[in-house]
A and B are shown apart, each in its own frame.
Chain A
Amino acid sequence: MIEVVGLTKVYPDLAAGDFKAVDRVSFTASSGEAFGLLGPNGAGKTTVLRILTTLLKPTSGVSLVNGFDCVRQEELVRNQIGFISVGTAVYDRMTAWEFVEYFGQLHGMNGPKLHERMEWLFDKLGMQDLRDTLGGKMSTGMKQKTSIARALVHDPPVIIFDEATNGLDAFAARASLKIVSELRDAGKCVIFSTHIMSEVERLCDRIAVMSHGRIVDTGTPEELCDRHGENDLEELFFRLATSEPSPPADALSVTGEAAP
């Protein structure tokens, strides 16, 4: 479903020299799986996700979403994904219903099929009372719900959450996480970026810990704990995230497993 091989992103910086935000990252994620990308701020998680969503172009490497190339088949990739970011934004002068409908129509949906899907989403997310509310009048939680509905309206096979619970209150965050787990159970491929360990423990089938643009290690939470002799995932995260990055990710296979 998602296949990333040797992905590298270098930002040119005339003053400080080129900055390698992502350095030969490789991993895969499949249907019905919640794959977590963990790492401190600046580790490169968001850059990887933005490459997957075609917002950024990689310097080198390959990234495929449902078989479509993120560089050469951008529009097809965008049809395969639903992206929910921490930078939630909606049009101030569009209602929640119009906003979600607009995206549904852009994805080629129309008529009863679109409206049935929207009704289902609005019920599911508890949004019926804000369907006619303008974006400019919404709270952060309302905007986030609208964004989730927008990302899911075309029923994409791949859902990407980029620190999507940041800034949400406990109720809204809990509702978002519930949706992630339901999507995973419904057979979607969910890529989930966070630095909150409780969310990882609760949701992710497999995780990759990133530091300084590289994947430090990857596996199920249990595997990682066993491999590094840690019982506590949070302690493990601190250890991996603050350790010196391992040699270039050439050593990682495309399945994300560390090479022997």
Chain B
Amino acid sequence: MLGAADEARLMRRLRYQTVRAQLKQVLTTARLRTGLVILLSVLFWIALFAMFYFGLEFLVKHVGPVGDQYHAQTIEFIFHLFFASLNVMLIFSAGIILYSGLFASEETRFLLTQPLRPERIVQHKLQEATLFSSWGFFLLASPLTIAYGLVAEAPWHYYALIGPLILAFVYIPSGIGAAACLLLIRYLSHLRLTVAALVASLAVGAAGWAIWETVRTPQAELFGAEWFNDTLRRFRFTQSEMLPSSWLSNALLDAASPPPTIPLPLDQTPAVRALMFLALLVSNALVCQLVVVTIAKRTFRRAFSELECRPRAPRRAGLTTIDRVAGWLFRPFPAPVQLILMKDWRLLRRDPVQWSQFLIFFGLLGLYFLNINRFSAPGSNLNHTAWINTVSFLNLGVVGLILSTFTTRFIYPMISLEGRRFWILGLLPVSRRTILWSKFLFAALGSLGPCGLLILTSDLVLGVDPLVVGVHQFTMMLLCVGLAGLAVGLGAAMPDFRESSPSKIAAGFGGTLNLVLSATYISLIVLLTALPCHLYLVAQGSGLNVRFLEGSRLIGWLIGGAVTALLLATVTTIVPLRRGIRAFNQLEFY
């Protein structure tokens, strides 16, 4: 067996060669796609930065300037809550990614047959898991920290410390996730799903409870001083000195502080305190590394074997009541379409990874919509009307945008994912047109139900005008149909049969294009249908006399907007679908 240092060098070289080959391939075969992905990521980063920057500026103007007690408390609250939440998410995502990297990867199977130390294989995969689980963290944390630095006029060393602090921090939750993953598989391999589901449910339940406790305050006291103090108290645990997220938050806040005006002992100066927190993070990251290596050395091969040799009872599945209900709903469609819809429904229902994400996002939105009226101020008529209209309008946009991420993540890759079973599609005794139309119907109907219900809930809780309820339902229908057409059409026109991971398919050029077009489509439809109606109601409520909102003009605008939106929706649905059908018909299964 090679010495540990030689082994490490060999694995580093392997990593270097793999990355270089992948980059070379990307640069020679997918320049446009890579360029677009980078451009869109940069745009996303800029949008996040702008949001954080203006939010923090608002804080300075309306809560207190930098140095003020309320300002400091609020910033501390934001930083600690933000990083503590991401801390928990990083533990989960690193653990899950490492699990698939270590226990469901062909590469690991191969590496285990080689004379390599088990801890080396775990480290090799942990590097990947850390990178994949934390890229989102970098994308969120970097604009926030830089925006805060600019608003707080932080000294240069603040910016210099952001990178090392974040790097040291992410390794700690990744290490915890890795250790938990290895121990879970080694000692409770048969209960791994139950334990993971239980812990995830507890985390989601705790988050839901915290949010509920925060918004259930009597309406009159909401956003008051007492509510603020209560909220700070409720989330005080995020500021515990034992949490790595607190070390990161404290380090950033100290680093951003201006130099002291009075002489302080060296270890009390903000810059030195920030450096001490950095040292704390680095030393804990190293300890985490040591712990993971030790656990890996003792458990990995055994854990792998445990998982491979676990008793496997054949899983059985059958028709359920919910399938019968779905079958009844699909009855109006032609027989082949019914069959394909039913098949897609069953596959979705039996894949908790797919529907649980949908459920979590829409569940949280539903919770928010049900409590939304708590934030309103019915005493003031003008503000109340304006507020209700603005919020209901924004809710519509939010549901649309979330829906677009779901159609990109779940609907767009549907055809590509069938690639592994190419002959199933190719041999179906139905036309490929029918297959695509079925996918479209599945996506459109599947999204219209929950989205329509969510918007209806929001509108009813807010007590908006019946006209708005009608307009919102009409808008939602156009959004669901258009987004489904885009995702199915583009998915068929630009399939990627080589990739088996839906998230990677969605992150490719076609998926990115789908997301951008979807966002544009949502903006246009919402502006065309809902905006005139809201402007009209706001103007009515405020007694404003604006010429373009006068009766006849407004009706023209409403009808014109609805007709234009309908035309736009038709084009957005039909054009990509027709293109997708043409491409799918010409597609050859080599």
Contacts and interface: CB of A to CB of B under 8 A. Distances in A.
A6 B343 CA distance: 39
A36 to B, nearest CB: 21
Interface in A42-95: 50, 53-57, 74-75, 78-79, 81, 83, 85, 87, 89-91, 93-95
A130 B424 CA distance: 20
A94 B346 contact: yes
A129 to B, nearest CB: 8
Interface stretch (B428-436, B451-459, B535-543): B428-436
B426 A53 contact: yes
Contacts of A130: 314
B423 A54 contact: no
A175 interface: no
A91 B423 contact: no
B318 interface: yes
Nearest to A91: B347
Contacts of B426: 53-55
Contact of B429 (A11, A56, A57, A78): A78
B351 interface: yes
Nearest to A151: B427
A106 B423 contact: no
Contact of B588 (A55, A87, A89, A154): A55
Nearest to B589: A55
Interface string B325-356: 00000000001100100010011001100000
B315 A133 contact: yes
Given A91-B347, A93-B346, A106-B336, A55 B314 contact: no
A199 interface: no
Contacts of B429: 75, 78-79, 106-108, 154
B316 interface: yes
B456 to A, nearest CB: 31
A93 to B, nearest CB: 4
Interface string A113-153: 00000000000000000101110010000000000000000
Contact of B422 (A55, A93, A94): A55
A163 to B, nearest CB: 13
B316 A85 contact: no
Interface string B550-567: 000000000000000000
Contacts of B318: 95, 132
B13 interface: no
Contacts of A155: none
A56 B589 CA distance: 6
A28 to B, nearest CB: 23
Contacts of A87: 422-423
B347 A93 contact: yes
Given A78-B428, A87-B423, A94-B346, A132 B316 contact: yes
B590 interface: yes
A105 interface: yes
A76 B421 CA distance: 21
B312 interface: yes
Contacts of B350: 93, 134
A146 to B, nearest CB: 12
A98 interface: yes
B317 interface: yes
Contacts of B590: 11, 50, 56
A57 B347 contact: no
A55 B431 contact: no
A127 to B, nearest CB: 12
A79 B336 CA distance: 14
Contacts of A107: 429
Contacts of B343: 91, 94, 102
A57 B421 contact: no
B423 A89 contact: yes
Interface in B297-318: 312, 314-318
Interface string A6-44: 000001000000000000000000000000000000000
Contact of A89 (B315, B316, B347, B421): B421
B420 interface: yes
Per CB-CB distance, the 10 closest pairs between chain A and chain B, nearest first, are: A89-B421, A132-B316, A93-B350, A55-B426, A55-B589, A78-B429, A133-B314, A93-B347, A56-B588, A79-B429
5 contacts: A53-B426, A79-B429, A83-B427, A85-B423, A106-B429
Given A89-B424, A108-B429, 5 more contacts: A50-B589, A53-B426, A75-B430, A89-B421, A95-B317
Interface of A: 11, 50, 53-57, 74-75, 78-79, 81, 83, 85, 87, 89-91, 93-95, 98, 102, 105-108, 130, 132-134, 137, 154
Interface of B: 312, 314-318, 335-336, 339, 343, 346-347, 350-351, 420-424, 426-431, 588-590
